[in-house]
Chains A and B, each alone.
Chain A
Amino acid sequence: MLAGVAVALIAGLSGGLALLIAQVPAPVAFTEQHGPLMALGFLGTLIALERAVALRHRWAYLAPALSGLGAVALAAGAERAGQLALTAAGGWLVGVYVALLGRRLSCETALQLAGGLAWFAGGLLWLAGRPIPELIVWFAAFHVLTIAAERLELAHVVFLRTSARGGLVGAAALLGAAAVLSLADPGLGARTAGAAMVAVAAWLAWYDVARRTVRGSGLPRYAAVCLLAGYGWLATAGALWIVTGLSTGGYLYDAALHALFLGFVMSMVFGHAPVILPALLRVRLPYRPVLYAPLALLHVAVAARVIGDLTAIGPVRTLGGVLSELALLLFAGCAIAVARSRAGHDRKAPAVNPLEVRIQKGPQPLTPPRPRASWHLRANAIVLAWLGLTVAVALAGEALPAPRWLLIHVFLLGAVSTAILIWSEHFTVALLRARTPGRRGSLTRLALLNVATVAILYGVAAGPWQLAAAGATMAVGVVLWHAHTLISLVRHALPGRFGHVIGWYVCAAGALAAGGVLGGLLAAQVGHGETHERLHAAHAQVNLLGWIGLTVLGTLFTLWPTVLRTRMSERTRRASRAGLPLVAAGLAVAVAGLVAGWRWIALAGLVAYAAGTLTALVPLAEAARRRRPHTGAAWMLGASVVWFEIALVADLVIVATRPAGEVAAALAPLLPLVLVGFIAQVLLGSLLHLLPAVLGGGPARFKENAALLERGWTARLAALNLGVPLLALPVPTPLGLLGWALVLAAGAAFIMLAVIALTRARAAEAAKAGVAEGAKAGAAADRPARDREGRGRAWPAVAGVAAGCLLTAAAVVVATTGGAGPQTRVTATGVQTVEVTLSGMSIRPSVIEAAAGTVLTLRVTNADAQRHDLRLATGERTPMLGIGQSATLTLRPLGEAVDGWCTVAGHRAAGMTMRIVPTGTTAHPADPGHTGHSATGTGETGMTGTAGETGTTGTTGETGTTGTTGATGMSGASRPLDLAAPMSPGWTPYDAALEPAPGGTEHAVELRVDDKVVREVAPGVRQRVWTYNGTVPGPVLRGGVGDVFTVTFVNGGSMDHGIDFHAGANAPDGVMRSIAPGERLTYRFRAEFAGAWLYHCSTMPMTQHIANGMYGAVIIDPPRLPKVDREYLLVQGELHLGELGSDAQVAKIREGRPDGWMFNGTAAGYDHAPLTAKAGERVRIWAVAAGPSSGTALHVVGAPFDTIYREGAYQLRESDPGGAQVLDLAPAQGGFAELVFPEAGTYPVVDHTMRQAEGGAHGLFKVGAR
């Protein structure tokens, strides 16, 4: 039985994985039966087993045995037997329940009986041939009823009034009714079931004892958390079912299903396992806090899965799926570990977990809450980490995507925003003398903000924009929550002198909320051209002036007098009250003006903002007059305010003199001024002042620390403030570098002093702790001392981690900086000898320029650690050069451009290419039709056979075919394909089954070029292909007439590529342009016409780009397209073997001499992985001919077509008396044919252009009996 459970679990999990990740190999039975395996095979067997244990009759064990057997059969591919056994198990379970009911008549057993009946009924329908999606309601009813009843029984939800119990019975009845209803109308049934699920969830959440036990501790609390989270998912699933009706297909269906079966059911399993497992396996599973880990992972995973499904973002749903499988495995692992570990613990403390003892016996007094300041200190570690990352990003420079953007945002969004979040709350509490708000809330906000920041950084720099937008939304949410916390602090505080400051913090938070929204819009690429620029300008202004500016000003009201050691001006409060509305309103107006493009409104807003800041600065200036700044902190703060004002004035001028669309670009040079002069200086100044106070240690220490930190402050101040203008002004490069040096030196000096102060403080504290420990013996005194020691102990670790990371980072930087070697250009004149060096998988110089007619001599030296050679396209070649060896090549007088490369297998692909060009021509080929793309310097290999390590010299023929002679032995077209040969192990066919169109009329897709993939294009033949998203053909886009497709096209390849959707109507100039590697464009089209459309790469030479795999299909369903039993898509393309772009291959493409023809990217692939159908089923075969030069005459041997839809019109309808034998498509045409297979058998599907069929345009339909 348990073996059955395990088989079901493993098969179901690997099937699920294979569904998500195409590369994971799994038997077909695993993937097709993923649902039944998990729902019945795994969970059903567990439930049946548990019931059997409860009944304590031997015959009852037949139910789990049957379902376990059924699971094994199903996984082994014996579908029929599996169905039978599983259904029988359901029936037997009903019997078990009847017996239980006979023993004791109770509501819960009756409910469970109903659940068992649902299983049985669902199984019978399954046997009757109903498709699984229509049975989901039954299986869901089985699970939900069984679990609800189990809660009634296990948790003893006693003290229930009958009326309350009636609620559950009513909901259960509704669920049953929904299941019956689904027989007639699956959609309506599912919606009703959804409503019932919501009702059950609400009932459980309300009456379950979990609501009370969640406040407890230990196991009850853990179980309660599981249960409540599960109820949440049940409600979510119900809502999804109501909305989608389970019928929209595609990902929505997945979301609805996994919210229920993963979110709800698995959470319940997790919660009950510590209770049920002992009964089942006679293994005790004591509670350990580690059990929370899989639980948390599960819920994160389900959330990711559901969100990924709903938004149709492939990577997110894959991630969710993989994580949830991990969560299950992790739970299993934890359970085993916990059960095992019990033995050891029993000896010491039988029956009770030592951890619990400590929790219960160690109430509050022994672990005093740590002082607030310490918490803030530690939270500031995050800020420090972000600062470190900022430095790393600055050092990494161009190696990262979007380096400038990343640098700014890592600093501002990571370091500065985190700091503001921490300190504005801290100051608020301190100023208001308020009760500190819940630490959990603060920590959550901090964590959420950091998660959001990471999402934004990743989303913008690398990932899908949705991630960035989600991050921005989250950040806005966090900051609004923060504002709300501050407001409620003010509300609950006694009126005080400093309440006015909080207004500034709240307004600052509001500004970030606005700025975050704008940032999200920018990330989502809403608006192009000028709109984008305006949004950008508004985003920068509101964040810098609002979020940072307002916070700083608000803080300065109290900080400035303290720094000056003078009392606060009487006018402070009035100035603050007057300034804030001006500033806030001004900023709002300015942002609105910038977004809308009203220059003068924006200017007026900014003027108001400036006036507000001046008002606010009046009392500060007064304080400064009263007491001249005399400390480093005061000077730095003062200087930073001056820079702020300077930046503000410059900003005013820019906004006044330029249209809103150009403001953002004009502001860019100001950025260093604001970032360094204002923000960094404020940060340093405040730290300079606050650090001695934070470090504490009595007046003497305070003075000592202050003196230490202030050491040489005048020089630092001067350096910093001299550096800032050098950074901001357009000065020559050396001066700019000097500016950076000055600024960085000033910063580094401070950091060094701060670190010294920190270490000293730690040492002093530790010494004191030691004294305390020695002086006061006894347990009570021991704890705080050890606590402090614990905190002290963290510092060496942190220092060690920092040192280790620095060392590693330095080593990585050394390792990866290669100098500008590979890009070197050498210009040669006259008769010339050029030194050519082969090393590090590159040839230097990579480009040699010489006047036409120059006689070049190349002195080639192999300076690498392995053997290389150099071969030129004109035929000259060096021998294979050992390490350190040299050879000389003398070229003919230079005519046209000549390519050179290393012939060792794989080296050309790795970048060992060079090019000799006559002066005046570019390094890029002038005649792409002739030289192909071999000139882009990336090099393309054809075969990636298992070439030997050495000695694979290029075979050269008259045509110049230079292949690495791989083991696969494909050299040009000389050898015909062996289509009957087996496919390599691990090969997975392109899934020809066509998914129904996802719901909705807007579709967002990301197509990413990958032109380095190697795929098996014919049995045993692997070849590099150029692809969209790694597959040939690229992903299928499907929708209805009028749907809008937004395609984010990313060139992740190594050369220029483009894309052309035949289904859209757009001017080719913009969206179909070729883009360079690393670039992206958004291609938006409305599919106005139905049909099967081709899309393909639009970069010249298109013959090559299409022939090498860059094509795919867009299916736009004709209106009222009837539903059929199965839909397949075959995209036919030519196969041209050989090194991509080599003369031989190009010649074959141009002359139309393919080596083979492929359905969906593999010649004869579906001979080896036949398509399936059942006799009597209506099958629709969509087809698109990708060419580039040949079309198709699609024919199914043995079954005529009764429907032909070709190029937007029905040629033949089912009702017509006639039939059709061929769906004929010229290159780039598309359509579909429908047929009904008369009886079981194997039907070839071929291109009836027979030479093409025999060349691989051939597949099989395995038609099973009905």
Chain B
Amino acid sequence: MTWWSVVRFLHVLSAALWVGGQLTVSLVVLPLARHQLDAERRGRMLTAVGRRFGMITGAVFLPVQLATGVAIAWHKGVTWASLAEPGYGRILAAKLGLFCAVMVAAALHGWANGAGHRRSARALAVASLIGSIGIILLATALPAT
């Protein structure tokens, strides 16, 4: 148990919070809202949920994730060149790429929601969710050594 395990713990915890939050919203909150609320209340509620989640993403998730992620990479001795190497570097690079794509999708989702493009917003939300599950897949594929 070193400080590095604390850093890793924060990294994993924050990822769990974000992906788990998305899953909870998609699988629990949205269907229930759809069934139990009328259109107007639903809209208000969903907007509120989206706003709050966006705030958590921006205020907690992103800073923690970036800081701990960079720290871990530094600890592991990852260099720009090593990102191209097959194995750890390549998987990490793919994971980072996917992370960026997911962030873009999430950001676009927020924009589309605000601009009233409900369908695109929904598609983007789902894409970002699936993508973040993909990130976890890649994270588990990173060799532990």
Contacts and interface: CB of A to CB of B under 8 A. Distances in A.
Q: Is B truly associated with A?
A: yes
Interface of A: 763, 766, 793, 795-797, 799-801, 803-805, 807-808, 811-812, 814-819, 821, 839-842, 863-866, 883-884, 906-907, 910
B94 A804 contact: no
A817 B90 CA distance: 8
A766 B122 CA distance: 15
Interface in B107-145: 118-131, 133-134, 137-138, 141, 143, 145
Interface stretch (B45-53, B63-71, B81-89): B81-89
Given A808-B134, A865-B77, A866-B145, A818 B126 contact: no
Give the residue among B76, B78, B128, B134 with the most A Cβ atoms within 10 A.
Answer: B134
Interface of B: 76-79, 81-82, 85-91, 93-95, 97-98, 101-102, 105, 118-131, 133-134, 137-138, 141, 143, 145
The DSSP consensus for interface residues of chain A is helix
A812 B123 contact: no
Contacts of A821: 86
Contact of A818 (B79, B87, B122): B87
A910 B88 CA distance: 13
Given A796-B120, A800-B122, A804-B128, A865 B78 contact: yes
20 contacts: A800-B125, A800-B130, A803-B123, A803-B126, A804-B128, A807-B98, A807-B101, A808-B137, A811-B134, A811-B138, A814-B97, A815-B95, A816-B90, A821-B86, A840-B87, A841-B143, A865-B88, A866-B76, A883-B79, A910-B145
Contacts of A800: 122-130
A807 B95 CA distance: 11
B5 to A, nearest CB: 13
Nearest to A797: B126
Nearest to A867: B77
A277 B31 CA distance: 31
Nearest to B130: A804
B118 to A, nearest CB: 8
Contacts of B102: 807
Nearest to A883: B77
Contact of B87 (A795, A803, A842): A842
Contact of A815 (B130, B131, B141): B141
Contacts of B78: 865
A812 B86 contact: no
A840 B94 contact: no
Contacts of A812: 94, 134, 137-138
Given A808-B131, A815-B91, A863 B85 contact: yes
Contacts of A799: 123, 126-127
B82 A815 contact: no
Identify which of B77, B91, B98, B119 gathers the most chain A CB atoms within 10 Å of its CB. B119
Contacts of B145: 841, 866, 906-907, 910
A815 B90 contact: yes
B45 to A, nearest CB: 17
A819 B134 CA distance: 22
B98 A808 contact: yes
A884 B82 CA distance: 10
Given A799-B126, A801-B127, A808-B137, 15 more contacts: A800-B124, A800-B127, A803-B105, A803-B127, A803-B130, A804-B129, A804-B131, A805-B130, A811-B98, A811-B134, A816-B91, A839-B86, A840-B88, A841-B143, A863-B82
Nearest to B142: A815
A883 B73 CA distance: 13
B142 to A, nearest CB: 9
Given A795-B119, A796-B123, A865 B93 contact: no
Contacts of A814: 90, 93-94, 97
Instruction: Report whether over half of chain B's contact residues are helix, strand or loop; otherwise say mixed.
Output: helix
A805 B93 CA distance: 18
Contact of B85 (A793, A804, A839, A910): A839
A813 to B, nearest CB: 8
A1198 B2 CA distance: 56
Contacts of A910: 145
Contacts of A816: 90-91
Contact of B86 (A763, A805, A840): A840
Contacts of B133: 804, 808
**What 3 pairs between A and B have smallest CB-CB spacing?**
A804-B130, A840-B87, A800-B126
A804 B102 CA distance: 9
Given A814-B97, A906-B145, A804 B126 contact: yes
B138 A815 contact: yes
A807 B129 CA distance: 11
Given A811-B98, A815-B94, A883-B79, A801 B89 contact: no
B119 A796 contact: yes
B33 to A, nearest CB: 13
B85 A811 contact: no
A864 B85 contact: yes
Contacts of A796: 118-123, 126
A1105 B136 CA distance: 40
Contacts of B76: 865-866
A866 B91 CA distance: 15
B123 A819 contact: no
A878 to B, nearest CB: 18
Nearest to A790: B34
B93 A807 contact: no
A348 to B, nearest CB: 10
A797 B123 contact: yes
A1079 B141 CA distance: 26
Contacts of A906: 145
A815 B87 CA distance: 7
A812 B123 CA distance: 21
A763 B120 CA distance: 11
Kindly name the residue among B105, B123, B137 whose own CB sees the greatest number of chain A CB atoms within 10 A.
B123
Contact of A865 (B89, B122, B128, B141): B89
Contacts of A866: 76-77, 145
B77 A811 contact: no
A672 to B, nearest CB: 31
A360 B90 CA distance: 57
Nearest to A949: B145
Which among A793, A807, A815, A840 has the highest number of chain B CB atoms within 10 Å? A815
A841 B86 CA distance: 9
Given A812-B138, A814-B97, A839 B82 contact: yes
A539 to B, nearest CB: 36
Contacts of A804: 126-131, 133-134
Given A799-B123, A865-B78, A866-B77, A808 B87 contact: no
B90 A808 contact: no
B122 A797 contact: yes
Contacts of B122: 793, 796-797, 800
A821 B89 CA distance: 14
Contacts of B94: 811-812, 814-815
B15 to A, nearest CB: 15
A805 B130 CA distance: 6
A841 B82 CA distance: 12
A906 B76 CA distance: 17
Nearest to B97: A811
A692 B57 CA distance: 43
Contacts of A841: 87-88, 143, 145
A910 B87 CA distance: 12
B127 A807 contact: yes
A842 B118 CA distance: 49
A840 B95 contact: no
A365 to B, nearest CB: 22
Contact of A864 (B82, B118, B137, B138): B82
Nearest to B98: A811
Nearest to A763: B119
Contacts of B95: 811, 815
Contacts of B79: 865, 883-884
A840 B138 contact: no
A880 to B, nearest CB: 13
